[in-house]
A and B are shown apart, each in its own frame.
Chain A
């Protein structure tokens, strides 16, 4: 790709400005991006129970067609698709009209390398390894909505997700509970106060350092209001234990606390199921349970607030249609995405189904009919009030797909 076509007319980083009053709500939805690292088997998550070729290719791993009273069969969504039974946590969301699955979707780049595919997907530029910024980073960079909260963008984890790379500094935290100085509270407060005085002192001439210290103070202060340690989810929601469940619960806490959160990124890994993937039960079913129960809890916990929250799931690519000899599946191409929230066109499985007959496959894999950038562009322009799609997804003209309102 020619670099000149990709130049975005912004410096590689932009100074952030003094904080506006905290606590203001963002203009659009809060976007929560869930990345399923390792390549989820979309065919077993969002099951084409109406496609006989699915069953022909998956004699061991296939999920049975929906059957009343059989908890190991697919959960019917429409006449053609069903959810893996382990995704039962998503069914109430579907019933509420706030779930919009999209099938045969993903990045058009043909790579079957996790590394490359993730990089392309998060850059928002399939085939381009040199961009250096991510699609969410560019979204935040180009949306000047006056939100200067240090928690405008949060990556739950230890490293900044590539999608958030860009000019607006995102806050990375493994847990909102850990974002403070070590030691007992009284001592930490004294130390922090002393540090703030040192960072404000005239001998500190570095604006970036000053600003980072101010952000720490503001973030610690913001988080102190959230009462991170004791939180009881609403509406009887129960988050599964583990990093993903805890992380999503903390995202919900931040949303409810109205600390200015606009974008949160979180990972759930372990999807590279080459061996012993399992069918209705087993390895992948356990992961889907964690995913579905967490999203279900998140949805219940936020209640009415889901009107202005949008969760999107993605994975670097899908898996081979035909199961392999080790009870698993190898790297494939197109996959399924899930959108959750009040702003989605719900109760509908989106995306054209290319079929699983041999002649319809892409090198043995599910063919791609919806570019993931179409989905994300629509979310950004319709739900996040940002029209700068050309800068967010360079060299791409997205097609309207009607996945959000």
Chain B
């Protein structure tokens, strides 16, 4: 907005009026946020210094250029990539504070950020599964496991829409895919909620070694990858292989088939307590099933009778291995920067990993603070989760999720926690984007904007600038700025003009949600 101040004095045009109304909307949004769901907590209050906005109004100095209707590109990129999508005022706020400060702020938020977030907390409080132990889930939901899936998905979506810790929730989704667990495998549904809570959410921005260790002890993971069947003399290599191939080194990470076999032997006896025990579904080391002879994994000798220590030694090695750093930093860059990220930014992540001994805040920070990130506009498409949660945020929807919204995740091909193979939903767009999922996006936009997604409502009239917004061009511009960050070219605007009126503003909104530019993640 600073450019507004620099422009010469001119008579107010209709465009100025629109711009002013947008600024006012942003401010109004901020004051609303202060009460309920603003992004920031604690020592960084979510206000836009009025001096940066007001001069344009009080001095009548704003020039009517198209630039005034364009969000600051870098702020737009940051909010689209590092949150599930911009709400009213978010982009202006980031522009004011600066992208780097925003990244640091987001990485610095902890649990307390959502303490005074009544909408989120009230809605999460209605869900008991995310907080429940395996025994509790088994007792209550054995015959209705579908409710467990729904509650887990609902909790994730509510957080994505309402949490102040937007980047954290995106990183949680990243790790949920990296350490993928298919929630519907057999009785695994009683275990996954604990994994989500105690492994993924607990360590998402902690030390990688802690995250890896928690996952290795996670009953949900051990069950999903069959390690409870991995016994002395009857090895099951499933988990051992994925631990190397998917969780740490990557498929070309320099291990051999022999290493897989040796690691599987080290993992014998890493099991879970049975469903008939007092504490079903807890981690259990079964010493009598553990192969206690000597092992050698990638040159690391594990002397006989190492017991539980065998695996810990290997996890230390893997968490600190250059190929692990490279593989995971590559995946982070792929998720946040580009489907084919430059090697230079991966290297920055690796360097931070080495210097910080695997502190994930430092690793994510190095990758996101990079020039490569800042230059990556247009390089990512929104995945279904980002599309759905983002649309809700951008329209200021009141979200309770509901079955139909979950059904749209399925139609778009990425229902949460439902990817069967252990590699997580693919990130590169060509691997998952296809026509039926795009059609589902179009229909989702229509149903959301029409208010026909049960449990979720949108007040479209609130999105319209008052007074001047009723003029069709301005209505298109204001919605384009909100959803696309910039006005549409004249030709496309002309295409949309028939819908730019009071009666069809919901269709206009749906069309913008369905538009190709809206599929781009900043």
* A residues at B contact (CB < 8 Å): 2-3, 12-13, 15, 113-116, 119, 129-130, 132, 150, 158-160, 162, 169-173, 179-183, 187, 191, 194-195, 197-199, 201-206, 208-210, 212-213, 215-216, 219
Contacts and interface: CB of A to CB of B under 8 A. Distances in A.
Contacts of B251: 3, 130
26 contacts: A2-B257, A12-B426, A12-B430, A12-B431, A13-B431, A113-B226, A115-B182, A119-B420, A129-B421, A130-B422, A158-B407, A159-B413, A162-B421, A172-B413, A172-B434, A181-B439, A182-B447, A183-B446, A194-B499, A198-B495, A201-B491, A202-B489, A208-B381, A209-B381, A209-B433, A216-B439
Given A13-B428, A198-B511, A171 B436 contact: yes
Contacts of A199: 516
A212 B412 CA distance: 13
A213 B519 CA distance: 12
Contact of B435 (A129, A132, A194, A216): A216
B420 A162 contact: yes
Given A179-B436, A203-B488, A115 B511 contact: no
Given A13-B430, A209-B438, A115 B422 contact: no
B421 A194 contact: no
Contacts of B472: none
B283 interface: no
Interface string B490-507: 011001101100000001
Nearest to A13: B430
Given A2-B257, A132-B423, A195 B238 contact: no
B435 A208 contact: no
Q: List the 5 closest pairs (A to B, CB-CB), nearest first.
A: A13-B430, A204-B516, A215-B435, A169-B434, A212-B438
Contacts of B492: 197-198, 201, 203
Given A115-B420, A158-B411, A162-B420, A203 B436 contact: no
Contacts of A203: 488-489, 492, 516-517
B411 A129 contact: no
B495 A209 contact: no
A194 B422 contact: no
B105 interface: no
Contact of A201 (B426, B439, B489): B489
Nearest to A114: B186
Contact of A172 (B418, B420, B436, B514): B436
Nearest to A160: B413
Interface in B235-259: 238, 241-242, 245-246, 251-252, 257
B442 A181 contact: yes
Contact of A206 (B422, B496, B511, B520): B520
A160 B410 CA distance: 10
B438 A213 contact: yes
Given A191-B507, A198-B515, A201-B491, A179 B439 contact: yes
A202 B492 CA distance: 9
Q: Interface centre among B378, B429, B435, B495, by most A CB within 10 Å? A: B435
Contacts of A171: 434-436
Interface string B444-466: 00110000000000000000000
Interface residues of B, number: 57
Contacts of A116: 226
A17 B150 CA distance: 39
B438 A216 contact: yes
Task: Give the dominant DSSP class at B's interface.
Answer: helix
Contact of B495 (A172, A181, A194, A210): A194
Given A130-B251, A159-B410, A206-B381, A213 B516 contact: yes
B448 to A, nearest CB: 11
Nearest to A196: B495
B443 interface: yes
A195 B415 CA distance: 25
Nearest to B252: A3
A113 B186 contact: yes
B257 A130 contact: no
Interface string B392-434: 0000000000000001001101010010111100101111011
Contacts of B429: 208
B434 A158 contact: no
Contacts of A204: 516-517
Contacts of A170: 434
A191 B495 CA distance: 11
A170 B437 CA distance: 11
Contacts of A130: 241-242, 245-246, 251, 421-423
B185 interface: yes
A208 B433 contact: yes
A119 B421 contact: yes
A181 B446 contact: yes
Interface in B42-56: none
A116 B236 CA distance: 13
A179 B426 CA distance: 24
Contacts of B246: 130
B44 to A, nearest CB: 35
B392 to A, nearest CB: 18
A116 B242 CA distance: 14
Nearest to B257: A2
Given A169-B434, A216-B439, A194 B516 contact: no
Interface in B162-186: 182, 185-186
Given A115-B186, A181-B446, A191-B511, A209 B519 contact: yes
With most chain A CB atoms within 10 A of its CB, the pick from B251, B378, B492, B520 is B492
A187 B499 CA distance: 11
A202 B242 CA distance: 44
Interface in B271-302: none
Nearest to B484: A203
A402 to B, nearest CB: 34
A203 B487 CA distance: 11
Contacts of B241: 130
A8 to B, nearest CB: 14
Contacts of B491: 201
Contact of B516 (A159, A191, A206): A206
Given A12-B428, A208-B430, 10 more contacts: A3-B245, A115-B186, A132-B423, A160-B413, A171-B435, A191-B507, A206-B520, A208-B381, A212-B437, A212-B438
Given A12-B431, A119-B420, A132-B421, A195 B511 contact: yes
B365 to A, nearest CB: 29
Contacts of A179: 436, 439
Contacts of A12: 426, 428, 430-431
A117 to B, nearest CB: 12
A241 to B, nearest CB: 22
Given A13-B430, A179-B436, A206-B520, A115 B413 contact: no
A154 to B, nearest CB: 10
Contacts of B418: 159
A150 B246 CA distance: 33
B321 to A, nearest CB: 18
A160 B407 CA distance: 14
